[in-house]
Amino acid sequence: EAQVTQNPRYLITVTGKKLTVTCSQNMNHEYMSWYRQDPGLGLRQIYYSMNVEVTDKGDVPEGYKVSRKEKRNFPLILESPSPNQTSLYFCASSLFPASGGEGEQFFGPGTRLTVL
C-alpha cells in the first residue's frame, strides 16, 4: 500500500529535550515536505526537500532541522523544543517532477507534539 508513515503519532516532551519525528514514504517520491498546523493558521511549510541531500526552508523553519540522506526518509529534528512548537505536524511526499500538473502531495497521518 502506497503511504507516508510518521512516528511517533503522539509525543509529550519537556522544553529543551531533543526529539526526532520520523517520516518515511514507499512511493519512491523525490519531493518531501514538513508542515505544522495550528488553529486558525492552516498548514505552514517548515522545510522541504527536492531530492537526497537537497533541502530548503519553508515559511517557518526556525527551531527545526531536517535531513535527507535517503530518498524514502525525511526526519524532522527539534534540537531544543520550546512550548511554541506545540503543534500538529504533517509530513508529505509527491512525485517530482510530475508530468503535466504538479501532481498530488500524499500526507502522513500526523504527529501531535506537546512541549511542556
Which positions lie near other proteins, rule CB under 8 A?
A: 4, 31, 33, 35, 40-45, 48, 50, 56, 58-59, 88, 90, 92, 94, 96-98, 101-110, 112
**Residue closer to other proteins, measured from CB, 14 or 38:** 38
- Least spacing, CB of residue 74 vs other proteins, in Å: 14
Type and span of the H or E element at 53: none
**Residue closer to other proteins, measured from CB, 19 or 43:** 43
- Least spacing, CB of residue 59 vs other proteins, in Å: 6
**Residue closer to other proteins, measured from CB, 14 or 41:** 41
Residue 73 per-residue DSSP state: B
- Of 24, 57, 42, 23, nearest to 87 by C-alpha is 42
- Least spacing, CB of residue 94 vs other proteins, in Å: 7
- Could you give the C-alpha distances from 35 to 1, 2, 28, 114, in angstroms and in order? 23, 20, 20, 16
**Residue closer to other proteins, measured from CB, 85 or 94:** 94
Instruction: Please provide the DSSP assignment of 3-35 as one string.
Output: -EEEE-SEEEE-TT--EEEEEEESS--SEEEEE
